[in-house]
Amino acid sequence: MTSLLKQPVDCSIEYNIQSHVGWIGHVSGLYADKLMRKIKTPYQYVLRQGETEFDYYVSFVQQDGTVKHQPFEITLAPEGWYYENSGAGGPFVDATIDDVLHLIMHCDQGECTPLVI
């Protein structure tokens, strides 16, 4: 008999972000900016590490072609995880970063696509 263990919420969202196809790791904002300036597709993005463990950035091309570096922070709670930037969202239990990234970027869900490098 085998048993399936549910991954704890405090590990799953962090793993989900850091294993995402758009993840570029712990790089400078300048590096991300130079990378994104080459992109012409609105809402194409990369995810990168912020200054602390649950602090991240989504760097993306805005509708007008400018690059934005949107910080967001993940907060863990017994009822799920939350994100916070210019607004807050959550709690999320089964949601992945793909499920909420459009809310952080302030665009429609179908508009945001990861840059694969």
Q: How far apart are CA 65 and CA 43, in angstroms?
A: 9
CATH number (domain holding residue 63): 3.30.505.10
The verdict on residue 95 lying in a domain is: yes
The verdict on residue 44 lying in a domain is: yes
Q: Which amino acid is at 47?
A: L
The verdict on residue 58 lying in a domain is: yes
Backbone angles phi, psi at 101, to 5 degrees: -60, -35
DSSP-assigned letter for residue 23: B
Would you give per-residue pLDDT tens digits along the chain (117 residues)?
A: 333 333 344 458 999 999 999 999 999 999 999 999 999 999 999 999 999 989 999 999 999 999 999 999 999 999 999 999 877 899 999 999 999 999 999 999 999 999 998
Cα end-to-end span (Å), the chain: 41
The verdict on residue 49 lying in a domain is: yes
The verdict on residue 41 lying in a domain is: yes
The verdict on residue 66 lying in a domain is: yes
pTM above 0.85, yes or no: yes
Domain hosting 37: range is 9-114
Q: Among 17, 91, 80, 94, which Cα is nearest to 54's?
A: 17
Number of domains making up the chain: 1
